[in-house]
Amino acid sequence: MKKFFVYLAIIASLYLAPNSSIAQVMPVNENDLSGKYPFISTVFNRISNNSGLDSFYQKLHRLKSGSSGTVSIVHIGDSHIQADFLTAVVRNGLQDFFGNAGRGLVFPYQLAQSNSPDDVFSSSSIRWQFNRIAHPEIPVSYGISGYSIKTSTASASFQLSLRGLARPFTRVRLFADSLAEWTLKPVDNDSIFEMEKIPGCNCTAIELDKENTGFNISSQTPEVPKIVYGASLENDNPGIIYHTIGVNGARFDQFNLADLFWQQLPALKADLFIISLGTNEAQWDAFPATAFKKTLQKFIEKLKAVSPQACILFTTAPDSYKGRRNNGVLRDLNSAIINYCNSNYLPVWDLYRITNGYGSAYSWARRGLMTSDRIHFTPEGYRVQGSLLLSAIGKGYNGYTSVKR
C-alpha cells in the first residue's frame, strides 16, 4: 500500500510540475483579425523556407529557457517601417514573451524634419542640416539609421527622450562623427556614466549606473563639423532588442551605395535581419527584372559580409496604387523577391499574398486602413500588418520548439 501511494505521488508530480516545453509556446491568435478583416487570408500567414531561421529560433528558445542573454533583430525598410506602427507591434509582442533588452536604434527625426515614432522625441535650440539614404545627391553623409544630422555650429546639442511605455535604458551606443568630442548628460542628473570609443564604426559606448529615459548630447569641439547618425538604447535585462531602420523613400540600390551604413551595421550584432523594401521600386514605369535581381543579390551579399552569423527574413510589400491605378510593377517586383528567395532558400513572409495581392489595396482603402495617397497605411492598417508578422514569427518559433520537444 505504501508503494502504491508513492507511485501516485510520482504521477501527480509529473502532471502538476511546470512543463517547460509547454511554457515555450508563443501565443498566436488570428481569429480576431480574420473575423474583422475578411480580405486577409490568414491561411497563408506563415514564413516560407522557415528552416532558414532555425538558428534564430534556437537563440530564442535558449533565451526563453534560460532567461539570460540578448537576441538582436534589425528591421530594415522604407516609410512603411519608419513610423514604427508596424514594428512596434512586433517589438512589443516579442519583448512581452521573451523579455525586453531595450528600445534599440533611434534617431532624432524631428531635427531632420521627418516623422518620428510616437515614443521618441527630440529637440534642439539650433538648426541642423540633415540627409537620408533616399537623397544620395545631398553632400551630407548618412549612417546606421539611414539618416544623419550635421552642424558646424561651435556649440552643438540636442535632447532625445523616450515617451509612453518605452523601457528605460542603462546603455547608449552613440553613432556620431569621431572627430568631435561628445558629452552626454542623462535626464537623471545624478547618473554616473563611462564613455568608451569603439574603433571602426564611429560609435561610442556609454554605460550608466541607473536607468534613464532620455539624455542631452552636446559637442563643443571647435572648427569640426558635428554629425550624428543615431543611438542604440539598451538595458541590462535579458530579452529581445529590436532595432528599426526605416527610411522614407528608400530602395535596395540606395542602401547598396551607403558605405558608412554598412560599416556601422555590424555594431548592432544582428541575429536576424528583417528586410521590408520594394514599395519605392514599384513606382517605376516598368519593372527591370534583370537589374533588380542583381541589386537584390548585391544587397544580400553585403548583409552576409557584415553579419555572416545572422539569419535573413524578407517580406514582400503590401499592395498599393500607382496614381489611380492598381500597381502591376509591384506585383512583378514581389514575384521576383519570392522567386529569388525560393531559389536560394531564403525565408520570406509574403504579406502581398496574405492580404490578397494585386488589387487588394481597394479593400484596405475602403475600410479606412490606407491614407489618401493609397500607398501608405493608417496607423491601424500598419498595426494589422504588424500583428500578422508577429503571428507568423510565433508560428515558426512554435513549430521549431515542437520539433525540439
pLDDT tens figures, 216-231: 999 988 889 999 999 9
8 A C-beta contact, residue 45 and residue 392: yes
Confidence at residue 139, expressed as pLDDT on a 0 to 100 scale = 85
On the question of pLDDT at 164 being above 90, the answer is no
Q: Indicate whether 131 pLDDT > 80.
A: yes
The predicted pLDDT at position 365 comes to 95
| Count of positions (residues) in the chain | 405
Give residue 275's pLDDT: 98
Question: Minimum mean pLDDT among 253-262, 318-327, 337-346: which range?
Answer: 318-327
Determine the average pLDDT of the residues in 369-395: 97
Q: Which domains does the chain have, with CATH numbers?
A: 22-99+239-405 (3.40.50.1110), 102-236 (2.60.120.1360)
Residue 13 has pLDDT above 70, yes or no: no
Helices 379-404 and 54-66 pack at an angle, to 10 degrees, of 80
**Are 208 and 172 in contact, with CB atoms under 8 Å apart?**
yes
Q: Is the pLDDT of residue 17 over 80?
A: no
Per-residue pLDDT for 2 more than 80?
no
Q: Which residue is listed with cell 508577429?
A: 390
Quick one: pLDDT at residue 405?
58
Dist. CA 82–CA 74, nearest whole Å: 13
pLDDT band of 24, cuts 50, 70, 90: confident
- pLDDT for the residue numbered 43: 94
Mean pLDDT of 286-293: 96
| Predicted confidence (pLDDT) at residue 115 exceeds the cutoff of 60 | yes
Closest by Cα among 64, 72, 91, 66 to 393: 91
pLDDT score for 222: 87
pLDDT more than 90, % of the chain: 77
Q: Which three cell numbers stand for residue 171?
A: 546603455
CB 162 within 8 A of CB 214: yes
Whether the per-residue pLDDT at 175 is higher than 90: the answer is yes
Cell match 481569429: residue? 31
- Given a cut of 90, is residue 110 above it in pLDDT? yes
pLDDT of residue 108: 97
**Interval 48-67: pLDDT, tens:** 999 999 999 999 999 999 87
pTM tops 0.75, yes or no: yes
Local confidence band at 140 (pLDDT 50, 70, 90 cut-offs):
confident
Please tell me the distance from the alpha carbon of residue 92 to that of residue 242, in angstroms, as a whole number: 9
Cell of 89: 507591434
Per-residue confidence (pLDDT) for residue 4, from 0 to 100: 43
6 neighbors 357 (Cβ within 8 angstroms): no
Find all residues with CB under 8 Å of 11, minimum gap 6, and list them: none
- Which pairing describes strands 321-322 and 325-326: parallel, antiparallel, or unpaired? antiparallel
User: Are the beta carbons of 102 and 234 closer than 8 angstroms?
Assistant: yes
Percent of the chain with pLDDT over 70: 94
| Residue 390 exposure: Cα atoms within 13 Å on the Cβ side | 27
